[in-house]
Chains A and B, each alone.
Chain A
Amino acid sequence: SAVISQKPSRDICQRGTSLTIQCQVDSQVTMMFWYRQQPGQSLTLIATANQGSEATYESGFVIDKFPISRPNLTFSTLTVSNMSPEDSSIYLCSANLGLAEETQYFGPGTRLLVL
């Protein structure tokens, strides 16, 4: 399976600041996804990022809060803007890879703590 990497792996941020998380896939993929996983909880899809088009956001998530870039077929960024302690979470990117188009592989996650 392909490798998906994320940077940073963890960060501690002050409220009101912004953090940009990077996701790199070692092969070209059409779709990339950003998820949030709060401690001890399941995964919640934030948005779907296609190269060359605007990201599609899920209910409860807005572009002003979570702007996403997808400059090419192997890379995407998610920015968590104007952070508050409620944004403390694990942020995961994933991509459709493998023989089955439905199969998503996940990066290792970015652990964010907002003080």
Chain B
Amino acid sequence: QQQVKQSPQSLIVQKGGISIINCAYENTAFDYFPWYQQFPGKGPALLIAIRPDVSEKKEGRFTISFNKSAKQFSLHIMDSQPGDSATYFCAAITSGTYKYIFGTGTRLKVLA
């Protein structure tokens, strides 16, 4: 019940296309859902985060869609660029516990 299932494991997208990464969870106590971007040789960097009281959050080309009833959330990268090529991790946490549950990661490659 503590797992966060992430798919796909890897993704290849053409430049200008839309990249979509999905995550699903079981624990309804989770109330904060961040996405992290990690480049090779670097630590994960917070990209965008959402709480379950909203269905969508957009920051630039990055959008989180949240479906509370389905217990799913997804990251959409619009107009994907080669510089977006990285590994993306979703995560979930229950406020006050300070313990993130991370997805397994998606390796995104955007072709020039």
Query: A residues engaging B (CB < 8 A)?
Result: 1, 4, 31, 33, 41-43, 45, 48, 92, 94, 96, 98, 100-109, 111
Contact = CB atoms under 8 A, between A and B. Distances in A.
Given A42-B105, A45-B100, A48-B98, A108 B43 contact: yes
Interface of B: 32, 34, 36, 41-46, 49, 89, 93, 95, 98-100, 102-105
B99 A45 contact: yes
The 4 closest A-B pairs by CB, nearest first: A106-B43, A102-B32, A108-B43, A42-B102
A100 B32 CA distance: 9
Contacts, number: 51
Contact of A42 (B41, B43, B98, B104): B104
B89 A100 contact: no
Contacts of A106: 36, 43-45
Given A42-B103, A42-B104, A96-B98, A103 B34 contact: yes
B95 A101 contact: yes
